[in-house]
Structure 1
């Protein structure tokens, strides 16, 4: 068997998601309400099983330390096994009833619960130091989750069983970290890095160290970031994509944006598929003054979408796109700190800088494309971030990419023809 994996940089997080099942109290409660409305012994028995599961979640939540809404616990393996032994004969009776009544439901919450608990039990069988179990009390209901900390435990055996595997991506660096996360056998793993096939002179890469985007420094830098983005956008022709680490950061900068040559569009967290498509259509058929799209790193406009031809002339990434700090992200950091003395690298730096480089890759998609990549934050010139700047972006050191006059350098790159005096329409979708 030969495995071929494209966009393999996504595999560690996808594996973590697949092997991190959860039971949500609100889903169990919704099923309880539906079953309780049905007459007959079968539905009374199914309801009793669901009540057992609700009782288990309530007991686990009651054991949370005082004042805590979330905590690690020992996995309730025996309780889940007992529940399944009670549930499965009743499920068989339910399936017989559906067959006899000739009932086919496109969405069956009984089967949804069954398959969810089956997946939960399957991961329990893999449970070891590479996993942890979390219970969380939320307004919607109690959440019980198995959290995969180390995807190598889950996907490593698959790669070891294959006769050969080919993993491809523009962001599989550092190779040793990716191999570690995927459990690739070191004695059978080789890495090849190839330069981009496009003319290097068609791409201008710069790092703007004038601003700092750490959480503590953001408030003081929002205004200057907005001014820089306006100046840089006015210095280029065509469309530009600006990526922020969060919707809140985007909103804070957007409300401080001065008038720009380009028409400004904002990505919202609640965009529908129709709205998403409208923005893409606007980029492919822009007004004469161009479009400045403010969006979020790792989102729908930053990865998994192509901007062919001259759709984009600039990609500006504001801040390393580090994942948000959370209870479970901190468990991941702690695990790799204990295992590799590299908790921050695996939990935050690796996924964050992968997003940055993936976003930059939206710009040059053919040998005729030209454009500017700009990273806005002093941290991009500091360790550990600077060591993750792609090698083909610079000659000797990433620090040569530092720009103190980004708008002027952009204007020089594109040459004459940029007219900063065109009035923007100013309308937002």
Structure 2
């Protein structure tokens, strides 16, 4: 007999019976909360002796496959000798239009009833399917009684329909486990420090711990984390997520998996690409009338899943698109459905850490069997602040009110919100508060309730301004539920507007809270430096493992120079000619391809305009704001080793070209960093500074110095990518010679010379 396969009843019946189309017309974002409340309302009416939220499980043999079924039924009613399983479904539909109940809902109740009847030795049992209308809270119930023999036939039929898919999953799992046994590291030898990192990751995963690893450029972080994680699957760890902020690092992860596949690994992974990026249509409108890939999606998706899981292993964006077109299914939803079935998932941070888009079907049990690999983890600090902050503007409410002056209920709710905004604007209170304005929050909640009723009405197209305001308000309320001492309520007044923001100062507790249910978490980067700062900001604690290794490259591979010219804003006009001359001097002294980084687009453009291009025998290119993928690739494509004329690329510190790119050998001769990368002074940065000062830390370093230097480390890290690389690194700013900045230098940069 094959290994047993565990499956939730809901997952089983949805696979077999779900049909129809994707339709992402408006759905109340509070629907899950409303659904829970309505379930609880009905369950409170249960008589004494009845049960609610009952976990059921049991084993059923279908052919040579043993299924371990489990799930939580909404309720069990006991009435003398009669036992009835109840399945409750909240619905936005009018109750009058529901005539007999959905087959998928009946099947769910029938499976629960079968497990309960077997457990209690019942010869017959009832199933009650209850629908509750969201708006009116009216209910309609359907009841049916089954013999145990009838339920046995129904459940057997469901499992027979699922068995071909189960066999595919079991075969893939068996092949994976066999391949892992003899899987070898895909290189003849480990680089310096690489074996230690791989060992640390393996130990962390096996022991169900968290690891924070600073592994410098050249360590081979991707393969050093993926290889031991895959090996740990042989010890019963069944899934991993490789999360990152950059598209390029997702590609590196795919390449690492190809190397492991070359060593014999039989294993399936999928890369998730954002809906807007992968959508085949001109506009992302997920409705069957507009999109043929949404129309009938659930009628075709099972065949599409079986096809791709039979024939593919490393399922990249290109492969997803190919099979999605073949089966006429939405490529984004296809990748999401696959993410629950494969061994590994490569995706953006937000699918794990952002509650707005996180993978909802990944329950706590699934998380407990999953390892998180968080690449370029230094980026998660800033992204965490963004994900756990939210803002609203008075002007956005005013605009929507002007659009619908005749809409009574909506107009009244917006008037109440605007009244709260005007009161806040007139108050003499502080712009930074440690508590949310409750009156504003109450008026916003009323706006949501009325907006959802109106948005739920069919036959009316609501404009983008209204939809955007609705989503912003939902996000604001969601973040208000996370409000803690690490948040501030920030009020920004201007002559014609008012903005309120829930600002996350320190995301560490929320990051830790999200990661906690997972089996293991590996936070790694080439620049978790200074380590104590990132360890704290990423939620590290005493129980977590820490790992720091030196660069695998020789110090002689870097030729580091510091040119102490002020780049402070007040000095820029005066010093810009010296800076451009320094750039020209470096290039003419050491010909080759260069990347030159500036702290802002404006500063970069000024330097580009001042540069004496006639003195440089080179092609000069400059990063533009909001470059699309094709433009980024074209920019990097200019950096070739066999060019007749070298290329000099102007780019922005902390931007798309400052991390995650590999320009090995003569593709890059030198990197010049202008400035120390300090974030622009702002109210938010000052809040961060004051917060950490109050905790007895150096707030200026937390708010400005450390984030700034991380950009510098990342940009400088583009230079040396292999044992053969040699290059010039020039740092232009007089602050680099101060004790604070010298103490932060990477070890391999400490042999610098001062340029005068």
Normalised to the residue count of structure 2, the TM-score between the two structures is: 0.47
1:61 is aligned to: 425
Post-superposition offset of 1:17: 0.9
Partners of 2:464 and 2:743 in 1: how far apart? Answer: 50
Are the equivalent residues in 1 in contact too, given 2:677–2:709 (CA < 8 A)? yes
Where do residues 213-362 of structure 1 align in structure 2 (5 Å cutoff)? 213-258=567-612, 259-269=615-625, 275-284=631-640, 288-308=644-664, 310-362=666-718
Partners of 1:339 and 1:310 in 2: how far apart? Answer: 47
1:87 is aligned to: 447
Post-superposition offset of 1:324: 0.8
2:375 is aligned to: 6
Partners of 1:58 and 1:287 in 2: how far apart? Answer: 62
**Greater shift in the superposed pair: 11-20 or 276-285:** 276-285
- Please provide the CA RMSD for this pair: 2.8
Are positions 1:189 and 2:558 aligned together?
Answer: no
Partners of 1:35 and 1:112 in 2: how far apart? Answer: 15
**2:403 pairs with one of 3, 17, 34:** 34
Q: Deviations over 1:345-401 (max 9, x none)?
A: 10011100100001112223334433222212232222211111112x15xxx2x31
**1:380 pairs with one of 721, 731, 736:** 736
**Greater shift in the superposed pair: 143-152 or 257-266:** 257-266
Post-superposition offset of 1:290: 1.1
User: Per the alignment, in what secondary structure is the counterpart of residue 404 of structure 2?
Assistant: helix
CA pair 209-79 structure 1, distance change in 2 beyond 3 A: same
Where do residues 136-175 of structure 1 align in structure 2 (5 Å cutoff)? 136-138=492-494, 141-175=497-531
Partners of 1:272 and 1:179 in 2: how far apart? Answer: 33
Are the equivalent residues in 1 in contact too, given 2:527–2:714 (CA < 8 A)? yes
CA pair 382-207 structure 1, distance change in 2 beyond 3 A: farther
Bigger share in strand: 2
Q: Deviations over 1:48-91 (max 9, x none)?
A: 222322332232222257xxxx9224644422342244224423
Partners of 2:646 and 2:728 in 1: how far apart? Answer: 15
Partners of 1:31 and 1:150 in 2: how far apart? Answer: 33
The structure with higher relative contact order (CA 8 Å, sep 6+) is 1
CA pair 181-306 structure 1, distance change in 2 beyond 3 A: same
Partners of 2:663 and 2:402 in 1: how far apart? Answer: 47
CA pair 117-162 structure 1, distance change in 2 beyond 3 A: same
Are positions 1:97 and 2:457 aligned together?
Answer: yes
CA pair 183-210 structure 1, distance change in 2 beyond 3 A: closer
Partners of 1:71 and 1:122 in 2: how far apart? Answer: 22
CA pair 232-140 structure 1, distance change in 2 beyond 3 A: farther
Are positions 1:21 and 2:398 aligned together?
Answer: no
1:389 is aligned to: 745
1:401 is aligned to: 752
CA pair 140-5 structure 1, distance change in 2 beyond 3 A: farther
Post-superposition offset of 1:119: 2.5
Post-superposition offset of 1:115: 3.2
Partners of 2:416 and 2:630 in 1: how far apart? Answer: 42
Post-superposition offset of 1:25: 2.9
**2:413 pairs with one of 35, 49, 69:** 49
Q: Where does structure 1 lack aligned partners over 5 or more consecutive residues?
A: 406-429
User: Per the alignment, in what secondary structure is the counterpart of residue 651 of structure 2?
Assistant: strand
1:78 is aligned to: 438
CA pair 227-125 structure 1, distance change in 2 beyond 3 A: same
Partners of 1:254 and 1:96 in 2: how far apart? Answer: 53
User: Per the alignment, in what secondary structure is the counterpart of residue 211 of structure 1?
Assistant: coil
Partners of 1:74 and 1:257 in 2: how far apart? Answer: 48
Q: Where does structure 2 lack aligned partners over 5 or more consecutive residues?
A: 1-367
Are the equivalent residues in 2 in contact too, given 1:16–1:151 (CA < 8 A)? yes
Are the equivalent residues in 2 in contact too, given 1:20–1:147 (CA < 8 A)? yes
CA pair 50-293 structure 1, distance change in 2 beyond 3 A: same
Are the equivalent residues in 1 in contact too, given 2:448–2:473 (CA < 8 A)? no
Are the equivalent residues in 1 in contact too, given 2:373–2:523 (CA < 8 A)? yes
CA pair 64-283 structure 1, distance change in 2 beyond 3 A: farther
Q: Deviations over 1:144-202 (max 9, x none)?
A: 1011111123223234444421101001122221121122222x22221233445654x
Aligned length: 385
1:208 is aligned to: 562
CA pair 279-257 structure 1, distance change in 2 beyond 3 A: same
Q: Deviations over 1:187-243 (max 9, x none)?
A: x22221233445654x32313234232334434322111111001111223210111
Partners of 2:628 and 2:426 in 1: how far apart? Answer: 39
Partners of 1:319 and 1:366 in 2: how far apart? Answer: 26
Partners of 1:343 and 1:58 in 2: how far apart? Answer: 33
